[in-house]
Chain A
């Protein structure tokens, strides 16, 4: 089948898609966007988190056909050209990136959390709130301590920018 949708603000089309393919597979293997990661392909790890029409989803759990006509934003679409999003630079600066396999999913999930909090004129999220928001994103390397530090830093930077 053919699937057409929008990724990171640009229309895309994939042909000869087998009906069983996931949005994650189409992004990674057909559209040249391997930034979203596949660490389980069954909704357990959050490495594949993307925005679908503005809501975060596990791209591995979305059938490619379900994306038809919709809008997707991936880790590749977070930066503004060369300028990193504050969430991205905070992850680098706080040491939250080791192997980095969990990072794309965590970035999108954190981006969403900050959009809903400081981005909407609210308070920066407390640690408990951050932990709850990121509970679906596994990381095996960091023990999450520097991820928390990165989220605090990003919230501070995003708040400063708002």
Chain B
């Protein structure tokens, strides 16, 4: 099966000839490059697939979390008496009951398992309850009396970044980097980048003098929620050895394990994690949520404990995308050639560090975008406040920067009287360019071609207006707010660049165990990794790799757990690259072992040493069968485990940002067409077309799904998604008040996929999940600007911005 013709475009450069059966390539069905079906697809359509919230055990209890209503408060005391007395309540635990380490965190152990005398954000867990029914647990929580002394929250990220008098959210400031300046205590990371004249110490005025045209802009990106549908949930089962088995929806089992074990006071081998069905992730499952709480309750009560967040709780139960305020200045010559760019980016990390430091690394290194700029000055800050904690979300720091630089490119094009695509092509990076951090781009980067293709796509049909127009085709939709009066069309473009895999010298690896054996007389493969399938289709990719490498169609991917080595996180668009690479390496080792077995049996006369594994047999390159697997593996199984690492990366210099910090770069280009009701400030996106280079499409159908889904999340950020925070309190924690795109909000999405292989990556592939999330937001907002002439400096665009009213 293939995607609809609308969503597929011919690959370029010329793809290998397609065999008659599109499901078959390289002698095996459903290998790499085909639309192999998901192995969990049927289970998911019959309702049998077990998500983390579906788990059930005899005798299980329900866990619940009491959260702080205040963003910042001292806890004077907690009285549990009434809660403990309630029939059906089995345990009520606070900070004092945490047996091991009291704090955890991905980058810094700064987050208490349960509040330790102080709460630093609204919704911070204070106490946990286990009871025989969720309603009993809720009633018990209402009986916990917490005596809070409410404190003034730090809610202004710019103040946290720059005002030395701002009260510290945590302890005092860390000592400055050698050679660096002291920073206010709330700065989690400051990362500058300096190139060209700025690196040589030139002042801004000196650099400005070289430009004919200068544009400046201040932009804001609101706090976006990942809004996965499957809530945080899991089941903790106490084990006979004093340990615990946790079944949970997460992105990285081993990093959960390494944070949990110390808190539980257990050795890691006694904290065994199993991946339960994951209902979407998008970064929100990178930090711990209910994991430690469920385990504590299970260990305390000796009974399985299930925890499931409800939707409102979920808004408080995971980190969000960092909101950003950004100040950009770009200078160019009259012909459009960029001369310089300066940017100051302030990212609000909220109450705990989470991945703020890595987000600052991405935002600063990607701040200038995919453009060649000789003189760059970046100052990026990630700060603590008492706002909701922020961390990973699809695009991870690059989304915010992209809205800034793409807005600037449009502003510059307008100032120069150039077409925005022409300006971008003039300054486009390509293979051989250097990034602002001095890293050579040693892989294809066909940005100019991608832009030209996006511009050349046929335009969608003209807007329909007037009486009788189907309201579903108009801004405001079925609300029927216009018949086309005041509706104006606009077209906009956006380009984004994202680093793929973990960066800045992180030891990034994945482990795979592959077993080849006979099952019922037929060769079959088992793949075992700890990599998290979160919906993206990684289980399919693992099967495809094994089929292609071993020539065996029957491949089972075992449930992911910590009984095998770490696969790293399902983040940074890295799993096809990393776990795909690990499965490939393990398969290659299995293949070599099979060849050794064949050689031990003696090769037929005339067979050279170059053997292949195809169609369930060891064959010579010319196809002569050396040995059937059915016979070779009659009384043995071949199993190999391999660890795969990408090429090493380097840290960013703390003063200049220089360093080969990244593994791979990936890009997407969007063209958005919108109709805007300029009187009511309503927008209908008419079409959202994407051109993306993926190096090599492992599964074109799934790949298109990633690009559609990423584009949709970018549309959400452009038009509707913002966690509203006032005085550090969240005002819209529900799907009634925090809107994500429905099927009525989404336009048709044409996708054109290019395949220029990256010579460093397995199969030449390029991580694909994140880039479309970057570029769709600025493309849509550019289209609204084109329709309305408004500056639109805030993502999401609000109706008030379009009609020119103050935003409350």
Contact of B311 among A41, A130, A134 (CB under 8 A): A41
Say whether A12 faces chain B, with CB atoms less than 8 Å apart: no
- Chain B residues, CB < 8 A from A148: 743
A92 near B704 (CB under 8 angstroms)? no
Give the size of the chain B interface in residues (CB under 8 angstroms). 68
A39 near B40 (CB under 8 angstroms)? no
CB contacts under 8 Å to B, within A10-58, are: 18, 20, 28-29, 32-42, 44-45, 47
Q: Which residue of A lies closest to B473 (CB)?
A: A128
Give the distance to chain A from B719, nearest Cβ to Cβ, in Å. Answer: 14
Say whether A104 faces chain B, with CB atoms less than 8 Å apart: yes
- Chain A residues, CB < 8 A from B226: 140
Complex Cα distance, B226 from A39, in Å, reads 13
Q: Which residue of A lies closest to B3 (CB)?
A: A95
Say whether B167 faces chain A, with CB atoms less than 8 Å apart: no
Say whether B742 faces chain A, with CB atoms less than 8 Å apart: yes
B46 near A44 (CB under 8 angstroms)? no
Complex Cα distance, B348 from A109, in Å, reads 40
Say whether B734 faces chain A, with CB atoms less than 8 Å apart: yes
Complex Cα distance, B748 from A130, in Å, reads 13
Complex Cα distance, B735 from A39, in Å, reads 10
Q: A37-B51, A137-B743, A138-B742 are in contact. Are A95 and B705 (CB under 8 A)?
A: yes
Interface window among B227-235, B295-303, B631-639: B227-235
Say whether B310 faces chain A, with CB atoms less than 8 Å apart: yes
CB contacts under 8 Å to B, within A115-150, are: 128, 130-132, 134-149
Q: Which residue of A lies closest to B700 (CB)?
A: A95
B704 near A147 (CB under 8 angstroms)? no
Q: A95-B3, A146-B3, A149-B3 are in contact. Are A132 and B280 (CB under 8 A)?
A: no
Say whether B41 faces chain A, with CB atoms less than 8 Å apart: yes
A40 near B744 (CB under 8 angstroms)? no
Interface window among B108-116, B359-367, B400-408, B532-540: B532-540
Say whether A62 faces chain B, with CB atoms less than 8 Å apart: no
A144 near B746 (CB under 8 angstroms)? yes
Give the distance to chain A from B533, nearest Cβ to Cβ, in Å. Answer: 9
Q: A100-B44, A146-B3 are in contact. Are A138 and B311 (CB under 8 A)?
A: no
B705 near A99 (CB under 8 angstroms)? no
Q: Which residue of A lies closest to B308 (CB)?
A: A38
CB contacts under 8 Å to B, within A86-101, are: 88-89, 91-95, 97-101
Q: A44-B734, A92-B37, A99-B280 are in contact. Are A140 and B743 (CB under 8 A)?
A: no
A45 near B735 (CB under 8 angstroms)? yes
- Chain A residues, CB < 8 A from B35: 95
Contact of A100 among B1, B311, B535, B715 (CB under 8 A): B535
Contact of A101 among B3, B51, B56, B749 (CB under 8 A): B51
Interface window among B206-214, B572-580, B706-714, B800-808: B706-714
CB contacts under 8 Å to B, within A51-90, are: 74-76, 78-79, 84, 88-89
Complex Cα distance, B56 from A29, in Å, reads 8
Q: A34-B47, A99-B278 are in contact. Are A134 and B230 (CB under 8 A)?
A: no
B230 near A141 (CB under 8 angstroms)? no
- Chain A residues, CB < 8 A from B710: 143
- Chain A residues, CB < 8 A from B715: 143
Give the distance to chain B from A137, nearest Cβ to Cβ, in Å. Answer: 7
Contact of B7 among A34, A102, A145 (CB under 8 A): A145
B472 near A97 (CB under 8 angstroms)? no
Give the distance to chain A from B314, nearest Cβ to Cβ, in Å. Answer: 9
> Could you say which interface size class chain A belongs to?
35 or more
Complex Cα distance, B473 from A38, in Å, reads 32
Say whether B49 faces chain A, with CB atoms less than 8 Å apart: yes
Say whether B449 faces chain A, with CB atoms less than 8 Å apart: no
B472 near A139 (CB under 8 angstroms)? no
Q: A44-B735, A107-B45, A138-B742 are in contact. Are A37 and B279 (CB under 8 A)?
A: yes
- Chain B residues, CB < 8 A from A138: 229, 735, 740, 742
Q: Which residue of A lies closest to B699 (CB)?
A: A95
Q: A34-B47, A44-B734 are in contact. Are A146 and B228 (CB under 8 A)?
A: no
B45 near A99 (CB under 8 angstroms)? no
CB contacts under 8 Å to A, within B139-165, are: none
Say whether B282 faces chain A, with CB atoms less than 8 Å apart: yes
Complex Cα distance, B738 from A42, in Å, reads 14
CB contacts under 8 Å to A, within B1-38, are: 1, 3-4, 7, 35, 37-38
Contact of B708 among A32, A84, A97, A142 (CB under 8 A): A142
Q: Which residue of A lies closest to B535 (CB)?
A: A99
A101 near B280 (CB under 8 angstroms)? yes
- Chain B residues, CB < 8 A from A18: 133, 135
Q: A40-B734, A40-B735, A143-B712 are in contact. Are A101 and B38 (CB under 8 A)?
A: no
- Chain B residues, CB < 8 A from A137: 742-743
Complex Cα distance, B1 from A98, in Å, reads 16
- Chain B residues, CB < 8 A from A142: 705, 708-709, 712
Say whether B664 faces chain A, with CB atoms less than 8 Å apart: no
B3 near A144 (CB under 8 angstroms)? no
Complex Cα distance, B712 from A128, in Å, reads 18
B46 near A84 (CB under 8 angstroms)? yes
Say whether B42 faces chain A, with CB atoms less than 8 Å apart: yes
Q: A98-B537, A98-B705 are in contact. Are A76 and B47 (CB under 8 A)?
A: yes
Q: A132-B472, A140-B280, A145-B708 are in contact. Are A92 and B742 (CB under 8 A)?
A: no
Q: A94-B1, A132-B744, A149-B3 are in contact. Are A140 and B282 (CB under 8 A)?
A: yes
- Chain A residues, CB < 8 A from B7: 145-146, 149
Q: A97-B38, A138-B740 are in contact. Are A39 and B311 (CB under 8 A)?
A: yes
A140 near B228 (CB under 8 angstroms)? yes
A84 near B42 (CB under 8 angstroms)? yes
Say whether B478 faces chain A, with CB atoms less than 8 Å apart: yes
B740 near A140 (CB under 8 angstroms)? yes
Contact of B37 among A32, A45, A93 (CB under 8 A): A93
Say whether B702 faces chain A, with CB atoms less than 8 Å apart: yes
A39 near B47 (CB under 8 angstroms)? no
A101 near B45 (CB under 8 angstroms)? no
Complex Cα distance, B743 from A137, in Å, reads 8
Contact of B47 among A29, A35, A94 (CB under 8 A): A35
A141 near B44 (CB under 8 angstroms)? no
B472 near A128 (CB under 8 angstroms)? yes
Complex Cα distance, B244 from A63, in Å, reads 36
Contact of A132 among B48, B478, B736 (CB under 8 A): B478
Complex Cα distance, B521 from A95, in Å, reads 32
Complex Cα distance, B203 from A142, in Å, reads 48
A145 near B735 (CB under 8 angstroms)? no
Complex Cα distance, B4 from A93, in Å, reads 11
Give the distance to chain B from A73, nearest Cβ to Cβ, in Å. Answer: 12
Give the distance to chain B from A92, nearest Cβ to Cβ, in Å. Answer: 4
Q: Which residue of A lies closest to B51 (CB)?
A: A101
1/0 contact string of B122-147 vs chain A (CB within 8 Å):
00000000000101000000000000
- Chain A residues, CB < 8 A from B562: none
Query: 5 A-B contacts, Cβ less than 8 Å apart?
Result: A78-B46, A99-B280, A138-B229, A140-B228, A142-B712
Task: Across the A-B interface, give the 9 residue pairs with the lowest CB-CB distance, nearest first.
Answer: A35-B47, A99-B535, A143-B712, A100-B44, A101-B279, A143-B708, A44-B735, A34-B54, A92-B41
| Chain B interface residues (CB < 8 Å from chain A) | 1, 3-4, 7, 35, 37-38, 40-42, 44-51, 53-54, 56, 133, 135, 226-231, 277-282, 308, 310-311, 470, 472-473, 478, 534-537, 701-702, 704-705, 708-713, 715, 734-736, 740-744, 746, 748-749
Q: A45-B735, A95-B35, A101-B535 are in contact. List 14 more A-B contacts (CB 8 A).
A: A29-B56, A76-B48, A84-B45, A93-B37, A97-B38, A100-B45, A132-B744, A138-B735, A140-B226, A140-B280, A140-B282, A142-B705, A143-B711, A145-B748
